[in-house]
Amino acid sequence: MNFNIPSLTAEFYLTTSPVLILCFGALVAMLAGVSRRLGGELVIYSVLLLSLVGALAAAVAASPGVETAYLSGSYLAGVLSRFGQVLILLVSLIVTLLFKATFLRDRFFRGEIASLFLMVITGMLITVASEDLVTLFVGLELSSIGLYALVGYLNPSRRSQEGAIKYFVLGSFAAALLLFGFALLYVSTGSLRLTEVSQAVPKLLGHNWVKLGVVFSLAGISFKLALAPFHLWAPDAYESAPTGLTALMATTVKAMVIILAARFFAGSLASVYEVWLPALMFVAAISMILGNIMALVQSSLKRMLAYSSIAHSGYMAIAICASSANSGSLPVAAVLYYLVGYTIVSLGAFSILMWLENKDNDNLLLDDISGLSKTHPWAAFGLAVCMFSFAGMPPTVGFIGKFFVFNSALINHLTGLVLIGVIGSSISLFYYLRVIVRMYMADPIQLPTQLAPKPSLLVAVVIGATVIANLALGTVLPEAAMKWMVETSKEVAAAPGSAEDSQSVSH
């Protein structure tokens, strides 16, 4: 009989060091928070920064080369895992820095909250690197449960308590759907590893339990991705959460689930795409239509961006649909490109909102930013670039991203979906341009408390960096970046090698 001895080698610890560093940071933050002397803002801030920077350095330094599986295939080190981890860590580092410039700084930099925050990031890192349904589920829930708690606890008002409860109930419901799908896949295929599931599923297509398993997993993932008609939690959660957390939900959570969906559908279940393709096409189409139409009637900016994020999930789902039909790695590369662009733009938009907000006005309305170009010209300029990019206007990254996604769908004959996508984008122009018109062509209105009275160097740097990255990816970099994305997404389809094969011991 063969037993695989878990390879707890130095190489394993090096590869998983981002996760380990964050876990350690979370524990330190929790312990420091208990002590009255050590629990100050400065200590917690440095713990947060040190662990995030350390994890980021470790993730960048990990040299993946060949995709390798550790711990009997639960933890996957490879180019795609590293891509996801670096993206998530970078965004969370920027969000942490930005919290320092907001009115929530004395609440955010406390032991228990910092610890929850680091745990959420840990869960995301585990999820993007998991190849096993157990690790995947644990990572996903670690990040979700932490976020439910943070949304309700960071700034407890009636609104955020209500949003947290809705987020919690629908999120747990989604987790149960996803698990039921996994359970049926396990019963039919006899394995919890994605590679083994993908080998076994094509032979079992006659069985209805397998199909049901695939459909339930799709529903669960659509819930987590906020695809309509499973989107109901997203607007409430986005609006009620403190804006820093909304930024985290719109960027890192989305990145995590998109990478997961790419692995799951474009990788493992690509051979049985006829089961999930119609369902995914349906949710993608509904999300693009409903997300864009509902965004038209919103007065709160965060709620508008929530509906717009539903529509953007729909665009990304198009490319995942396209990756079904033996299409190579181009569609997955298009998703990753779109994801990077969307992350940069969302981060820019939410960081501007974060900076403008204050204690009396933590949910900006469209009216509140009237004439912003006269009071805060640079913030207005940054927000305008973000809006152009969301709408997909050249020369921004939004345009190139949409181009790659629609192109990969057209190559694979998904003309109907592309048509709906184009109609959706033209509807979206209306509400994105309305923000710009309100900022540049309306007169400033008198607010009870002034928005962002003092300038902040950090916010200026973040806004400048997102604008530059946005325009660079939209003009000079696309070709080089896309080549890199194709390299990154190659391993989605390929089965990973195992670090333990050489070490299995016979008894």
Residues that bind another protein (CB under 8 A): 133-134, 137-138, 141, 145, 148-149, 152, 156, 158-159, 161-166, 168-169, 172-173, 175-176, 179-180, 182-184, 186-187, 190-192, 209, 235-236, 239-240, 297-298, 303
For the bound state, the minimum distance from the C-beta of residue 131 to another protein, rounded and expressed in Å, comes to: 14
CB of 54 to another protein, least distance (A): 26
What is the smallest separation between the CB atom of 24 and another protein, expressed in angstroms? Answer: 20
* Shortest distance (Å) from residue 345 CB to another protein: 24
For another protein, which is the closer residue by CB, 194 or 332? 194
φ/ψ region of 110 (left if φ > 0, alpha if ψ in -120 to 50, else beta) reads beta
Which of 364, 380, 310, 304 minimizes the C-alpha distance to 342?
Answer: 310
Q: Which is nearer to another protein, 186 or 381 (CB)?
A: 186
CB of 408 to another protein, least distance (A): 34
Which lies closer to another protein via its Cβ, residue 220 or residue 267? 220
Cα gap 496→473, rounded to integer Å: 30
Rounded to 5 degrees, what are φ and ψ at 325? Answer: -95, 80
Least distance between another protein and beta carbon 497 (Å): 21
Q: How far is the CB of 183 from another protein (least distance, A)?
A: 4
Q: Around 502, how many Cα atoms within 13 Å sit in the side-chain half-sphere? A: 4
Cβ 176 to another protein, closest distance in Å? 4
Burial 158-169 (b: 16+ CB within 10 A, else e): eebeebbebbbe
In the complex with another protein, the residue whose CB is nearer, 17 or 308, is 308
Identify which of 507, 281, 310, 309 has the alpha carbon closest to the alpha carbon of residue 414.
281
Q: Are 115 and 32 in contact (CB under 8 A)?
A: no
Q: Please, which residue, 54 or 152, has the CB nearer to another protein?
A: 152
To the nearest whole angstrom, how small is the minimum distance from the Cβ of residue 357 to another protein? 17
Instruction: Assign residue 16 a region (left: φ > 0; alpha: ψ between -120 and 50; beta: otherwise).
Output: alpha
* Distance between CA atoms of residues 448 and 443, nearest Å: 16
Q: Distance between CA atoms of 267 and 134, rounded to whole angstroms? A: 18
Residue 185 Cβ, how far from another protein at the closest point, in Å? 10
The string of DSSP letters for 111-130 reads: HHHHHHHHHHHHHHHHHHTB
Q: Which is nearer to another protein, 98 or 294 (CB)?
A: 294
Q: Which is nearer to another protein, 199 or 407 (CB)?
A: 199
Strand-pair partners of 413: none
* Cα 470–chain centre separation: 17
CB contact set of 199 (below 8 Å; sequence gap of 6+): none
**Which residue's CB is nearer to another protein, number 137 or number 403?**
137
Closer of 36 and 158 to another protein (Cβ): 158
Question: Judged by CB, which is closer to another protein: 73, or 398?
Answer: 73
* Choice between 101 and 142, CB closer to another protein: 142
- Minimum distance of another protein from residue 417's CB (angstroms): 28
Question: Cα separation of 384 and 459, whole Å?
Answer: 16
The residues, ordered by sequence, that sit 6+ positions from 340 with a Cβ below 8 Å of its Cβ are 87, 397, 473, 481, 485
Counting Cβ atoms within 10 Å, is residue 441 exposed (0-12), middle (13-18) or buried (19+)?
exposed
Cβ 142 vs Cβ 120: under 8 Å: yes
